[in-house]
Amino acid sequence: MNFGVVGYKGRMGTLIVQTFKEHKHNPVLLVDKEVLLEKDRPEVIVDFSQPEALELTLSLCEKYNVPLVLGTTALAKNHFKTLKDFSKKQPVVQSYNFSIGINLIAKILAEFSKNFEEWDVELVEIHHSQKKDKPSGTAILLEKALKREIQKHSLRIGGIPGEHLVIFANEGETITISHRAISRKAFALGALKAAEWVLTRKSGFYTFSDVLKEE
Ligand SMILES: NC(=O)C1=CN([C@@H]2O[C@H](COP(=O)(O)OP(=O)(O)OC[C@H]3O[C@@H](n4cnc5c(N)ncnc54)[C@H](O)[C@@H]3O)[C@@H](O)[C@H]2O)C=CC1
Ligand SMILES: O=C(O)C1=N[C@H](C(=O)O)C[C@H](O)C1
Active site residue 127: yes
Q: Which atom of ligand 2 lies closest to the CA of 184?
A: 13
Q: What is the pLDDT of residue 197?
A: 98
What would the mean pLDDT of 110-135 be, rounded to a whole number? 98
Question: Is 97 annotated among the ligand-binding residues?
Answer: yes
What is the C-alpha to C-alpha distance for residues 145 and 27, in angstroms, rounded to an integer?
Answer: 34
Answer yes or no: are the C-beta atoms of 39 and 16 closer than 8 Å: no
pTM, 2 dp = 0.98
Q: Tens of pLDDT along 171-210?
A: 999 999 999 999 999 999 999 999 999 999 999 999 999 9
Give the tens place of pLDDT for each residue, 47-106. Answer: 999 999 999 999 999 999 999 999 999 999 999 999 999 999 999 999 999 999 999 999
- Give the mean pLDDT of the chain: 98
ipTM of the complex: 0.99
3 is in an annotated binding site: no
Q: Given the CA of residue 125, which atom of ligand 2 is nearest to it?
A: 12
Instruction: Write down the H helix ranges in the chain.
Output: 11-22, 54-64, 77-86, 100-111, 137-146, 185-198, 208-213
3-class state of residue 32 by DSSP: strand
49 lines ligand 2 (CB under 6 A): no
Q: What are 68's strand-pairing partners?
A: 45, 92
pLDDT at 53: 98
Between the CA of 162 and the centroid of ligand 2 the distance, in Å, is: 6
